[in-house]
Amino acid sequence: ISKPDELDSKVAAALPVAGEAALRALAHLGLQRGETLLVLGAAGGVGTIATQLAIAAGAKVVATAGEANHERLRALGAAVTTYGDGQLDRIRALAPHGVDAVLSASATGALGDAVELRGGTTGRIASLADTSAFELGIDFLAGTPADRSRETLRTLVSAWRQGRLVLPPARRFALHDAVAAHRELDHGHGTGKIVLVP
C-alpha cells in the first residue's frame, strides 16, 4: 500500500506498529458497541489510536494520561483522568457502571487496579507494555512483523482518510541521538511514537 501524499512520512513510519497493536488489542478484547473500555496510558501512539478506533466502533472510552494530554484526549471523545494515586476512585466516577474491558498501553503499573475494576477477574484485560501482566495472569499481547499486514494498513489509512483517526505526531530524533531516544522511551510520558531520522 502506498503512503498518501498528504500523510507526513514520519507519522506514516510509526503507523504500522502503533496502529496494528491497537487493532490487534481491540480485536483480542472483543470490544462491542455500547461497552466501556478503559485505556491505561492513552496518550501514547497505541493508546491514542486504540481510543479513537474504540470510539468510532461505538464504545465509551475512559482514559488515563498525564494532565498535559487531557485536553487532546477529550477532544477525541474520551473521558479522561490522571493516572497514579487515587485513580481507581476517579475511574469509577467516570464509569459508574464499571468497565467491560481494559487495555494497558503503557507500563503504568496499574494492572492491579484493572483487575479490581473487572471484579477481581483477569478476563478481558490485555497489556501491550506492562510486564506485571505475567505475574497477574493477564494476557500480554506481543506482536510480530507478520501482524502488520497490508489489510491492516488499508484499514488504518481508510480510517484516517475518513477523519475517524487523528494520528499523534511522531517524536523525531536524529539517528545519532538514538541513546536520547531510548531514554525518552524509558521515561514513558511522551505522545505518539518515536521515529529515528537520518
Q: How confident is the model at residue 196 (pLDDT cuts 50, 70, 90)?
A: low
Instruction: Examine the pLDDT at 153 and tell me if it is beyond 70.
Output: yes
- Lowest average pLDDT, out of 118-127, 140-149, 161-170, goes to 140-149
Phi, psi for 157 (deg, rounded to 5): -65, -40
Q: What average pLDDT score do residues 10-25 get? A: 79
For residue 70, being part of any structural domain is answered with yes
More confident residue, 165 or 126: 126
Helix/strand/coil for 124: coil
Instruction: Examine the pLDDT at 171 and tell me if it is beyond 80.
Output: no
For residue 179, being part of any structural domain is answered with no
Q: What is the pLDDT of residue 167?
A: 72
For residue 4, being part of any structural domain is answered with no
Which tens digits make up the pLDDT trace of 92-140?
999 999 999 999 988 777 888 889 999 888 999 999 888 889 989 899 9
Distances in Å between the Cα of 98 and the Cα atoms of 47, 94, 113, 115, 119 are 20, 9, 12, 12, 9
Q: What is the pLDDT of residue 138?
A: 92
- Round to whole Å and give the CA distance between 133 and 77: 28
Q: Which helix (H) or strand (E) holds 102?
A: strand 101-104
For residue 44, being part of any structural domain is answered with yes
For residue 198, being part of any structural domain is answered with no
Supply the CATH number for residue 92's domain: 3.90.180.10
Domain count, the chain: 1
User: What's the angle, vertex CA 161, arms to CA 155 and CA 166, rounded to 5?
Assistant: 90
For residue 3, being part of any structural domain is answered with no
Mean residue pLDDT of the chain comes to 82
More confident residue, 196 or 106: 106
b/e per residue 61-82 (b: at least 16 CB within 10 A)? bbbbbeeebbebbeebebbbbe
Domain residue limits at 70: 9-140
Cell reading at 144: 510480530
More confident residue, 152 or 83: 83
For residue 122, being part of any structural domain is answered with yes
Which tens digits make up the pLDDT trace of 20-76?
889 899 999 999 999 999 999 898 888 999 999 999 999 999 999 999 899 999 999
Q: What is the pLDDT of residue 60?
A: 97
More confident residue, 53 or 149: 53
For residue 163, being part of any structural domain is answered with no
H helices present in 57-106, as ranges: 70-75, 87-94
